[in-house]
Chains A and B, each alone.
Chain A
Amino acid sequence: MKTYLEKTYIIFDRELKGYFRTPLASIFLLVFLALSSGMTFFLGRFFERDQADLTAFFAWHPWLFLILMPAIGMRLWAEERRSGTIELLITLPVTNMQLVIGKFLASWIFTLIALILTMPIWVTVNYLGDPDNNVILISYIGSWLMAGAFLALTSCLSALTKNQVIAFIISSISGFVLIMAGFNLVLSSVRSWTPTWVTETVGSMSFLSHFSRIQMGVFDLRTFIFFVSMIILCIWINVQLVQIKKAD
């Protein structure tokens, strides 16, 4: 078990450091901070709302993640396949599961760093008023879990192609469908040709409705389970895809 975790950690460590080896990490963090605060203050009208909460901040996260998570995760497997390093990885004495988890965790922790860097906004709102900090904490956790689901999905889809741009596009499109799953736009296209339970299942997968519940400070266990199982499912599919597509 010890070596199992150790090797997963070595993969994680290489991958996380990989983000900072290029300007990618700093550019991403800058863009994330600029967009998240820009949306909060300008589109979310943080000051005009005159309320001491971070609703205006978190409300934009699903849409931000829709673009930014594929940008972080697109290279995870596509790049390994393009450069041929996947052959090195797979011939090392590790399982595909260790590789997939190590890589996924690296991207997820990187997102955590990005979220932590937005904390001045939390401090600000405490300085200006008296917000419910529990709600904010739960929202942060929910946001990070949602980011994880987006990343796991991206990682999984990036194993399908050697091209990072294609990985980015299919991940964004799939992410969009998942965000909108509770809305008529998606549901109406499913409703006409599937049984009701399928429509209901699709509807219950909406990232947006799950996240908006968290945002209201409702600690809904189902929502947490939803995002966690989404992550686990994608990781499992990711392992299968790596196995199937490795030599293509």
Chain B
Amino acid sequence: MSSKLVDAKNLKKSFGEFVAVDNIDLSVQRGEVVGFLGPNGAGKSTTMKMLTGFLEPDSGDILINDIDLKSEPLKAKEFIGYLPEGAPSYSDMDVSEFLSFIGKMRGLNKKLLTTRLDEMAIQISLKEVWNKPIETLSKGFKRRVGIAQALIHDPDILILDEPTDGLDPNQKHEMRNLIKTISKNKAIVISTHILEEVEAVCSRAMIIADGKLLANETPANLEKQFANKDIISIKVFNKINAVLAKNLKSSINYGEVKIEKLDKDTNIIFVSDDKKTPELNAVLKQVNKFKLNIIEASFVKSNLEEIFRKITTTNASS
């Protein structure tokens, strides 16, 4: 028995000429929350559809709790709770009716179903809309109903395609807390294009673009790996002519020095280096030598957002 609840190897899927997913490996252990990151159309949803058995991969294998999804789909699907993109549901049904339909289809007996429905009403805060038709609900509630149907049978594996899409900031916060709470004994895969979400809830980030896996790291490791993209910016109240610019550049001993004119009398000096993290103190010392009036100096740590942009755009263009 391996500790991997989801173990997918060499997944490939094309639609005609278009290669949606190109040789992706993915494994998730119990207790892990994997954030699936990528621009729109990168292949996130297609990968999730393959993991849940909705789409068959052109090649590659998927093991769900050590069960081969291809040869024993019904058995494997029992372990998965899935929120498809857009959280579809039967809009003419009441919330309770819909959840009990899914629960019954998931094989819950009457007693267990009643217990789980009560738990869902509280855990996902659905009490106030419990007997309302889904079509009358707000987007936030619809999304919660979608989460509830994915959780109704208390699955080991949760696959959530953009669980916070369309939610307001408070609802997003709640959703993330919920994911964190339930993540202890489950393997969770969420897809998103919101980076703060990954930083907030995920133990690992997988970045994909054009169907290819570009990075597979903890958010902290990703940041460390790309820390040399940190930038120092110094705003000065001086005119900087070409000669001064040249002298500045040669005396600041780092890879890249850029000077940008903000207005007539104000300039910003940007310092960065591909190989080492620039030190603010050292840079300020150099700038001071030129007797410049420093108004503001800051150290901009590269965040996940920049890393993401960097990874996905460089690879997409290369």
Contacts and interface: CB of A to CB of B under 8 A. Distances in A.
Main SS class of interface, A: helix
A83 B146 CA distance: 13
Given A10-B101, A87-B49, A92 B55 contact: no
Interface in A64-100: 83-85, 87-88, 90-95
A93 B77 contact: yes
Given A83-B88, A93-B78, A247-B55, A3 B107 contact: yes
Task: Name the residue among B55, B88, B89, B102 with the largest chain A CB count within 10 angstroms.
Answer: B88
A49 interface: no
A87 B85 CA distance: 9
Contacts of A94: 74, 105
B31 interface: no
Interface in B81-107: 82, 84-86, 88-93, 101-102, 104-107
Chain B contact residues, majority secondary structure: loop
Interface string B56-95: 0000000000000000011101101010111011111100
A159 to B, nearest CB: 15
Contacts of B93: 14, 18, 21
Contact of A88 (B73, B107, B149): B149
Given A94-B105, A246-B54, A247-B55, A88 B88 contact: yes
B82 A91 contact: yes
A116 B55 CA distance: 42
Contacts of A7: 105
A99 B236 CA distance: 70
A85 B107 contact: no
B53 interface: yes
Contact of B107 (A87, A91, A93): A93
Contacts of B52: 91
A134 interface: no
Interface string A232-246: 000000000000001
Nearest to A4: B74
A91 B53 CA distance: 6
Given A3-B107, A85-B89, A91 B54 contact: yes
A247 B49 contact: yes
How big is chain A's contact interface, by range?
20 to 34
A92 B106 contact: yes
Contacts of B77: 91-93
A124 interface: no
Contact of B102 (A21, A88, A95, A247): A88
Indicate the member of B74, B80, B91, B105 with the most A CB atoms within 10 Å.
Answer: B105
A189 to B, nearest CB: 34
B104 A10 contact: yes
B12 to A, nearest CB: 15
Contact of A87 (B78, B84, B104, B106): B84
Nearest to B133: A21
Nearest to A82: B88
B102 A92 contact: yes
Given A91-B54, A93-B74, A246-B54, A84 B104 contact: no
Contacts of A22: 92
Nearest to A89: B105
A247 B94 CA distance: 27
Interface of B: 49, 52-55, 73-75, 77-78, 80, 82, 84-86, 88-93, 101-102, 104-107, 149
Given A18-B93, A83-B88, 14 more contacts: A3-B107, A11-B105, A18-B92, A84-B85, A85-B90, A87-B49, A87-B54, A91-B77, A91-B84, A93-B77, A93-B78, A93-B105, A93-B106, A95-B74
Interface of A: 3, 7, 10-11, 14, 18, 21-22, 83-85, 87-88, 90-95, 246-247
26 contacts: A7-B105, A10-B105, A11-B105, A14-B90, A18-B90, A83-B88, A84-B88, A85-B88, A85-B89, A87-B54, A87-B88, A88-B102, A88-B149, A90-B53, A90-B54, A91-B54, A91-B80, A91-B84, A92-B102, A92-B105, A92-B106, A93-B75, A93-B77, A93-B106, A246-B54, A247-B49
